[in-house]
Amino acid sequence: MAITSPSPYSVRPHPIKATLSSNYIDFSSATGVNWGQQYAPDLLEREAEVFGNRMVSGLLEKVGAEEAMASDQVVWSEQGRLHLSYTGAHDASTDGKINITEDCDGNSIDAAGEGAHSIRIGDTVLVSDANSTVRCYCADPASGNADIIQVHPYSHDTLVNAGIALSAAVKVMVFGSEFTKGTAGQTEAIEPQFKSFSNKPIIIKDMYQVSGSDTAQIGWVEVSGEDGQNGYLWYLKSEGDTRSRFTDHIEMSLIEAEKSVSGANAAVPDGTEGLFKAIKDRGHQASLINGGDAGNDLAEFDLILAEFDKNGAIEENMVYVGRESSLAIDDMLANLDGGSTGSGSAYGVFNNSQDMALNLGFKGFRRGSYDFYKTDWKYLNDVATGGFTLDTTGNVRGVMIPAGVSSVYDENLGKNIRRPLLHVRYRASAADDRRFKTWTTGSVGGNITTDIDKMAVHYLSERCLVVQGANNFVLLN
C-alpha cells in the first residue's frame, strides 16, 4: 500500500535494506527543502599524487660535490696544452713563410694583441695542408713580424716544391728540435700556458607564511614522497611544498643561471655562471642523436668521441637526457648487432649483457674506449621545468658530464687536493653556514619575534657552480 505524505516526499517501504528511489528521502535542492546532505561525504585524507614525485633536483649531488667557501668569488686555473700546434696560412708571396693565426683550440694568435705563438728557431715541425704533410726545420724569419715563422723542408729545396701551395691554409705542429755541433743551446724558454676562470655565488631566497587564525583550523593531510614529507601534515603542508620547491630552485639556478653583461639593465644583479652557460661558452654543443636513422646517429655520435679524443679523453661519462634523446639513443643501440661485426659498441656497463638488449632500456654502453652511463633527466621531461620551452631548435635535450676529477691547490688546507670537475661551492664560516639556511619569524607557534599575527618560514642559500674542464662537457640541443 502506498503511503501518502503531506510533505513533498513519497516513500515506499522495502522488505530488505536497500537504497532505492522509492524508499529514501531526497534532500536535493529539487525538492525545495534545504536540510543538507543525508549522508556525510567520505573524506579521502591522503593527498592524491597525480604528478608523481614532483621534484626535479638530484643531478648535481650525484655527479659532483659540495664544499664551503669564505669569499665573494671562487677562482681556479686550468692547464694549457702541453704540446704546440697551430693553424695559419702559407704566405701568398714568400715561399716557406707561414703566418700563425690560431692555436689548435681556435684561440687567436697575435703578438701585439691576444698573445704570441711559442715556435722557436731550431724547432722541427710538421706542416700540413689539404694535400701534403712535410717535415721542416724552423729558421729565423728575419721579417720583424713575430706572427710569422720561416720553415725549410727536409725533403725538398722549397716548401712549394714539397707540395705546400702558396696561400694554402696549413697546420703546424712542433715535434722536436735539432741543433748542429758546437752551437749554443736554446735561447728562448716556453712559459706554461694556463687559463684563469672565476664564478660568484648568488643568494637564493624563498619564504612561506601562515596567519595565526589559519593555524587554528585543524585539517590533517597525509603526504609522502618529496623531501622527507611522509606522514600527516597540518597547516605546514604548504611549508613542505615551499621547501621542496626551494630545494629544486637551488639546483635549477646553478643549471640555468648566467652572468649579466655590461649592457644589461641596471636592475639585473651580477648573476652566476650556470652549467648550460659554461658548456656553451667553454665546452661543446651537438645537435645529434635525433632518432630515425641508427647508422647516421651512430656516425654523429662518433663526432662527439672525436672531440673527446682531442681534449681530456676521460673514459667514463654520464649522459643525462630528455625522453626524446633517450629513446633515440636506445633506438641507435637496438639497431646495432651488439658489436659482433665491427660496430664497435658493447653492452657491458652496469652488467647489461647483449641478450638484455631486447629490453631496449639501455643504461650503459661502451663505444671505442669510452663508457657512457645514460639516464633520463626529469628536469628536461617535466613540462613545468625544462620541458616547457617553445624553442624546438635550440632547446637543451641533454648533457654529457665527464666522471673525472682535477687536482687543485686549496688555500685553506695548504696542499693540492682532488676535486670533481663539476662541484658546488657555498658560503660558510664559523659564524654562519649559508648552504641551506632556514629561520622562523612572527608571533605564532611559540617563536615570537614581531607583533604580526602570522608565522613566516624563510629559506636562504648562497652558492655557485664550478665547471672545471668544460672542454670535456657536451650540450645536446
Tens-digit pLDDT profile for residues 271-305 = 999 999 999 999 988 876 666 566 677 888 888 88
pLDDT-based confidence at 36, cuts 50/70/90? very low
The pTM for the full model equals 0.74
Check if the beta carbon of residue 169 is closer than 8 Å to that of residue 423: no
Q: What is the mean pLDDT of residues 451-475?
A: 90
pLDDT-based confidence at 340, cuts 50/70/90? very low
Closest CA to 69 of 268, 186, 202, 214: 202
Residue 179, pLDDT > 70, answer: yes
Distance of CA 149 to the CA centre of its chain: 41
pLDDT-based confidence at 360, cuts 50/70/90? very low
Q: Which range (4-8, 167-171, 187-191, 206-210) has the least confidence?
A: 4-8
Q: What is the mean pLDDT of residues 147-158?
A: 93
Q: How far is CA 249 from CA 83, 110, 463, in A?
A: 42, 43, 12
pLDDT-based confidence at 371, cuts 50/70/90? confident
The Cα 338–Cα 308 span in angstroms is 23
pLDDT on residue 9: 45
What's the N-to-C CA distance of the chain in angstroms?
79
Residue 7, pLDDT > 90, answer: no
Q: What is the mean pLDDT of residues 258-262?
A: 91
Kindly state the percentage of the chain with pLDDT values over 90: 26
- 82-181 domain in CATH 2.40.30? yes
* Strand bridging mode 123-128 / 415-420: unpaired
Residue 86, pLDDT > 90, answer: yes
pLDDT-based confidence at 339, cuts 50/70/90? very low
Taking the CA atoms of the chain, what radius of gyration do you get in angstroms? Answer: 34
Residue 338, pLDDT > 60, answer: no
Q: Is 88 helix (H, G, I), strand (E, B) or coil?
A: strand
Q: How many residues does the chain have?
A: 477
User: Dihedrals φ, ψ of 255, to 5°?
Assistant: -90, -45
Residue 153, pLDDT > 90, answer: yes
pLDDT on residue 404: 72
Check if the beta carbon of residue 333 is closer than 8 Å to that of residue 357: yes
Q: Which range (4-8, 81-85, 120-124, 281-285) has the least confidence?
A: 4-8
pLDDT on residue 357: 42
Q: Is 258 helix (H, G, I), strand (E, B) or coil?
A: coil
pLDDT on residue 362: 58
Q: What one-character-per-residue DSSP string does 19-45 give?
A: --TTSS---SGGGT-----SSPPP---
- Characterise 5 by phi-psi region: left (phi > 0), alpha (psi -120 to 50), beta (else): beta
- Across the chain, mean pLDDT equals 78
- Which residues touch 9 (CB under 8 Å, ≥6 apart)? 25, 26, 31
The Cα 78–Cα 67 span in angstroms is 19
Q: What is the mean pLDDT of residues 356-374?
A: 70
pLDDT on residue 5: 47
Residue 361, pLDDT > 60, answer: no
Kindly state the percentage of the chain with pLDDT values over 70: 70
Residue 356, pLDDT > 80, answer: no
Check if the beta carbon of residue 321 is closer than 8 Å to that of residue 329: yes
The Cα 153–Cα 194 span in angstroms is 32
| 404 or 6, greater pLDDT | 404
Q: Which string of b and e fits 53-82 if b means at least 16 CB within 10 Å? A: ebbbbebbeebbeebebeeeebebeeeeee
Residue 16, pLDDT > 70, answer: no
pLDDT-based confidence at 343, cuts 50/70/90? low
Q: Which range (159-168, 285-294, 460-469) has the least confidence?
A: 285-294
Q: How many CB atoms lie within 10 A of CB 409?
A: 11
pLDDT on residue 391: 61
- Which residues touch 44 (CB under 8 Å, ≥6 apart)? none
Q: What is the mean pLDDT of residues 32-60?
A: 56
Residue 455, pLDDT > 90, answer: no
Residue 7 grid coordinates: 510533505
Closest CA to 285 of 293, 277, 295: 277
pLDDT on residue 52: 57
| 190 or 280, greater pLDDT | 280
Closest CA to 97 of 135, 155, 139: 139
Residue 265, pLDDT > 70, answer: yes
Please list the residue range(s) of the chain that carry CATH number 2.40.30.
82-181
The Cα 473–Cα 450 span in angstroms is 50
| 37 or 106, greater pLDDT | 106
